[in-house]
Amino acid sequence: MLILGGFVGCGGGQTVKTFPVEGTVTLDKKPLEKGTIYFKTVETGALDTLDIRDGKFHGQASEGQRRVEIVSYETKIMGTGAMKGEVQFNLIPPKYNSESKLTETVKPGGPNQFTFDLASK
């Protein structure tokens, strides 16, 4: 009798340390009602995602220089009849997300408190 078996598992990679981050996001001087803030490390692809609620965010992010991207979507009904459907629009201009030049440094010892004052125009 021949028994074949295989093992599937993780490589036991290094755990990435994260640190507390918090802050505020305003759009046109008003707290951003809801949205998402991304802390990205472009070189490694590391991504930390935090929810924004009533202009505030808090959570954990990896250490180091991070590119910051902020999005907030609004759903609208578009079209008529059979062509009617929901479409999502990003309320935040591309200069704060897909074209973002925003950066922050997440430090192990903190404080990691960040303020983002965005303008829709």
Q: What is the C-alpha separation between 102 and 95, in angstroms, rounded?
A: 9
Q: What percent of the chain has pLDDT over 70?
A: 88
Given this model, what pLDDT does residue 64 score?
Answer: 93
Q: What is the mean pLDDT of the chain?
A: 89
pLDDT per residue over 13-62, tens digit each? 567 789 999 999 999 999 999 999 999 998 888 899 999 999 999 999 99
The Cα 18–Cα 94 span in angstroms is 27
More reliable by pLDDT, 1 or 109: 109
In angstroms, rounded to a whole number, what is the distance separating the alpha carbons of residues 116 and 108?
21
CATH placement of domain 19-118: 2.60.40.1120
DSSP 107: -
* Confidence check: pLDDT of 1 > 60: no
- Compute how many other C-beta atoms are within 10 angstroms of the C-beta atom of residue 46: 16
- pLDDT-derived band at 65 (thresholds 50, 70, 90) equals very high
Q: By the 8 A CB rule, do 60 and 51 touch?
A: no
CA-derived radius of gyration, the chain: 20
CB-count exposure of residue 90 (10 Å: 0-12, 13-18, 19+): middle
Take residue 110 and report the two structure tokens written for it: 């903190």
> What is the predicted pLDDT for the residue at 26?
98
pTM, 2 dp? 0.82
41 near 62, Cβ under 8 Å? yes
